[in-house]
Every structure is written in structure tokens, then in C-alpha cells.
Structure 1
Amino acid sequence: WEVRSAGIETHGLNPRAVKVMAEEGIDISSQKSELIDLDYFNECDLIIILCGDALDKCPMIPKGVNHEHWDLQDPARATGTESEILAEFRKTRDLIKEQVKMIYFIY
């Protein structure tokens, strides 16, 4: 599998995302916030859209490309104490982890 992440806007890499992924032994510190590449979309076997507003704003998904929508809350929008915000990042990380496991068995 080749996995890429991109969005409809670029905001830079969230340090909280880096922190909670490191807790799982995954270093994303060198990743970048990138825009969706429509040429890459056309080459994909599966596109996964994570946030509700991304589905509404997402460029046209090419015909014949499998896609799924995982309606996850954006943890970057969480409010509260640092501990509460990190808990939201962990929750989203763990939900994605479980969904990826399910996808692995389907595809």
C-alpha cells in the first residue's frame, strides 16, 4: 500500500498530531500539509475522506475509484484543557486505526 494524506486546505503539521502518533511509535514529524492532487486521485484504487466538511468540499472523485467517507470530528477544532484536546486527538487516531484494520481485511 502507498498511503498519502492531503486536504482541501493546508494548515501546517499539527504538533498535537505528531505527539499522539509518536505515542503509537509512528513518526509523522517530517510530513507536510499538502493539497489534494487530482492527478494522484485518478491513479488511486481507494480514496478515504475523513471529515464531514471535506466530503462537501472535496474535488470530484473520479469514476471507477473506490472511496469511503469516515465522518470523523476534526480534533484540531477541540477546545478545553490541553489534556482534553489531546484526548480528542487520541480518540481520532484510535478510530482511524480501527477503520484501517477493517479496510485491510476488505481490500
Structure 2
Amino acid sequence: AIKAMAEAGVDISAHRSKHVSLFKDKDFDLVVTVCDKARDNCPVWFGKARKLHKSFEDPPFLARDAGTEDEALGHYRRVRDEIRAFVSELTI
């Protein structure tokens, strides 16, 4: 993921996941889930936020049987580009 994002000019090397409970006191206009597990477990306390779901394949799962690093990276690149296209089409 770090390499694929770096190719797109985005440095995520210091990024870490945060538990959704850290945001329970925040107001959101939009909550986007990008995997089925997140959609199914999305807390109801997001209040009046518009909720949107778009399922993307999981690059680590896809890459686990890759024969080469470049083949594995290809899965990350494809999903990265699918997410980019999805975000660029959002109307908020």
C-alpha cells in the first residue's frame, strides 16, 4: 500500500488505523465505508450523517498468492485507482 500510494504522490508511511470509537463525539456530514465488514459493523451513533457504501476488494488478500512483488503491487495499484475514481465521482 505504501509503494502504491507513493507512486500517486501520497505518503502514507506514517499513517495508522484509528478505531472508530475515537470519533463518536464528532458530527459528520458523510460516512463512507469501503469494505463489507465496515458497512456491517458501522455504528448507529453516526447520527444524521449520510452513509454511503462502496465495496472494494482487499489488496492484501488479493496479493497473498502473487508470484512476484510486482504482481502483488499490481493489486494495490488497481484498487488504489478504483478508489480514486470513486472519490472523484462523489457529489457531496
TM range (shorter): 0.7 to 0.9
Q: 1:77, CA displacement in angstroms?
A: 1.0
CA distance in 2, matches of 1:21, 1:49: 19
Question: Quick one: percent identity of the two aligned structures?
Answer: 32
Kindly tell me the number of residue pairs found equivalent between the two proteins.
88
What's the counterpart of residue 78 of structure 2? 91
Q: Which of the two has higher C-alpha Rg?
A: 2
Matching residue's letter, 1:97: R
Q: Where does the alignment leave 5 or more consecutive residues of structure 2 unmatched?
A: none
Counterpart of 2:24 in structure 1: which amino acid? D
Output one character per residue of 1:11-40: Cα deviation in whole Å (capped at 9) or x when no partner.
Answer: xxxxxx111000011111111121113425
* Match among 15, 31, 37 for residue 47 of structure 1: 31
> How far 1:88 moved relative to its partner?
1.0
Give the unaligned 5+ runs of structure 1.
1-16
Whichever residue aligns with residue 82 of structure 2, its letter is: L
Tell me if 1:27 matches 2:11: yes
What is the alpha-carbon root mean square deviation over aligned residues? 1.6
Superposition TM-score, scaled by structure 1 size: 0.73
Q: Distance in 2 between matches of 1:53 and 1:99?
A: 19
Q: Which has the higher helix share?
A: 2
CA distance in 2 between counterparts of 1:61 and 1:90 reads: 33
CA-CA distance at 1:74 after TM superposition: 1.0
Equivalent-residue separation in structure 2 for 1:74 and 1:30 (angstroms): 20
Judge conservation of contact 2:24–2:46 (CA < 8 Å) in 1: no
Taking the aligned partners of 1:75 and 1:93, their CA distance within structure 2 comes to 9
In structure 1, how many angstroms separate the alpha carbons of the residues matched to 2:13 and 2:61? 20
Task: Give the 3-state SS of the residue equivalent to 1:33 in structure 2.
Answer: coil
TM-score, with structure 2 as normaliser? 0.83
